[in-house]
Protein backbone atom coordinates (compact mmCIF):
# COMPACT_ATOMS: atom_id res chain seq x y z
CA UNK A 1 0.00 0.00 0.00
CA UNK A 2 1.46 3.30 -1.10
CA UNK A 3 1.03 5.92 1.60
CA UNK A 4 3.46 8.60 0.44
CA UNK A 5 4.16 9.88 -3.06
CA UNK A 6 7.59 10.72 -4.49
CA UNK A 7 7.78 14.07 -2.71
CA UNK A 8 7.11 12.53 0.71
CA UNK A 9 3.52 13.80 0.72
CA UNK A 10 0.20 12.04 1.23
CA UNK A 11 -1.77 11.68 -2.04
CA UNK A 12 -4.71 14.05 -2.52
CA UNK A 13 -7.39 11.34 -2.63
CA UNK A 14 -6.15 9.84 0.64
CA UNK A 15 -6.23 13.28 2.29
CA UNK A 16 -9.81 13.88 1.11
CA UNK A 17 -11.01 10.46 2.26
CA UNK A 18 -9.30 10.95 5.62
CA UNK A 19 -10.97 14.33 6.07
CA UNK A 20 -14.40 12.96 5.14
CA UNK A 21 -14.05 9.98 7.48
CA UNK A 22 -12.86 12.01 10.46
CA UNK A 23 -15.51 14.68 9.86
CA UNK A 24 -18.12 11.89 9.70
CA UNK A 25 -17.04 10.69 13.15
CA UNK A 26 -17.02 14.23 14.55
CA UNK A 27 -20.46 14.92 13.07
CA UNK A 28 -21.77 11.83 14.83
CA UNK A 29 -20.40 13.03 18.16
CA UNK A 30 -21.62 16.61 17.60
CA UNK A 31 -25.09 15.31 16.75
CA UNK A 32 -25.16 13.22 19.91
CA UNK A 33 -24.04 16.11 22.12
CA UNK A 34 -26.36 18.65 20.48
CA UNK A 35 -29.49 16.53 20.47
CA UNK A 36 -28.92 15.15 23.96
CA UNK A 37 -29.47 18.66 25.27
CA UNK A 38 -32.01 19.97 22.72
CA UNK A 39 -35.20 18.24 21.65
CA UNK A 40 -35.58 18.49 17.87
CA UNK A 41 -39.32 19.08 18.17
CA UNK A 42 -38.64 22.27 20.16
CA UNK A 43 -36.57 23.64 17.28
CA UNK A 44 -39.65 23.94 15.07
CA UNK A 45 -40.65 27.05 17.03
CA UNK A 46 -37.32 28.72 16.23
CA UNK A 47 -36.83 27.64 12.62
CA UNK A 48 -39.33 27.87 9.81
CA UNK A 49 -38.95 24.29 8.70
CA UNK A 50 -41.73 22.01 7.43
CA UNK A 51 -43.16 19.41 9.73
CA UNK A 52 -40.44 16.86 10.33
CA UNK A 53 -40.12 13.90 12.65
CA UNK A 54 -37.43 13.54 15.29
CA UNK A 55 -35.57 11.08 13.10
CA UNK A 56 -35.69 13.51 10.19
CA UNK A 57 -34.36 16.31 12.41
CA UNK A 58 -31.53 14.06 13.60
CA UNK A 59 -30.68 13.27 9.98
CA UNK A 60 -30.71 16.91 8.87
CA UNK A 61 -28.68 17.90 11.93
CA UNK A 62 -26.14 15.16 11.28
CA UNK A 63 -25.63 16.21 7.66
CA UNK A 64 -25.32 19.88 8.65
CA UNK A 65 -22.69 18.97 11.25
CA UNK A 66 -20.92 16.78 8.68
CA UNK A 67 -20.81 19.60 6.13
CA UNK A 68 -19.53 22.03 8.76
CA UNK A 69 -16.77 19.76 10.06
CA UNK A 70 -15.77 18.62 6.56
CA UNK A 71 -15.50 22.19 5.31
CA UNK A 72 -13.35 23.31 8.21
CA UNK A 73 -11.15 20.22 7.96
CA UNK A 74 -10.73 20.54 4.19
CA UNK A 75 -9.65 24.16 4.63
CA UNK A 76 -7.15 23.13 7.28
CA UNK A 77 -5.69 20.43 5.02
CA UNK A 78 -5.66 22.80 2.04
CA UNK A 79 -3.63 25.38 3.95
CA UNK A 80 -1.37 22.79 5.58
CA UNK A 81 -0.53 20.95 2.36
CA UNK A 82 -0.48 23.49 -0.49
CA UNK A 83 -0.49 22.22 -4.06
CA UNK A 84 2.92 21.05 -5.21
CA UNK A 85 4.45 22.34 -8.40
CA UNK A 86 4.89 19.81 -11.18
CA UNK A 87 8.21 19.60 -12.95
CA UNK A 88 6.82 21.67 -15.84
CA UNK A 89 5.60 24.42 -13.54
CA UNK A 90 8.76 24.75 -11.45
CA UNK A 91 10.62 27.96 -12.17
CA UNK A 92 13.77 27.58 -14.22
CA UNK A 93 16.95 28.14 -12.24
CA UNK A 94 19.09 30.80 -13.75
CA UNK A 95 22.54 29.58 -14.78
CA UNK A 96 23.64 33.00 -16.03
CA UNK A 97 26.33 34.54 -13.87
Contact (Cβ atoms closer than 8 angstroms) between residue 62 and residue 35: no
Which of 67, 70, 72 lies closest to 17, judged by CA?
Answer: 70
User: Could you tell me the end-to-end alpha-carbon distance of the chain, in angstroms, rounded to an integer?
Assistant: 46
Q: Can you tell me whether residue 32 is helix, strand or coil?
A: helix
pLDDT tens by residue, 65-87: 999 999 999 898 888 876 665 54
Contact (Cβ atoms closer than 8 angstroms) between residue 48 and residue 87: no
Strands (E), the chain: none
Band of pLDDT at residue 64, cut at 50, 70 and 90: very high
Amino acid sequence: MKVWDKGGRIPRTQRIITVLWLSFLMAGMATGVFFSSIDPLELRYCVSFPEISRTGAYTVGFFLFWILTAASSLLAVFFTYPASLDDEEKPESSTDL
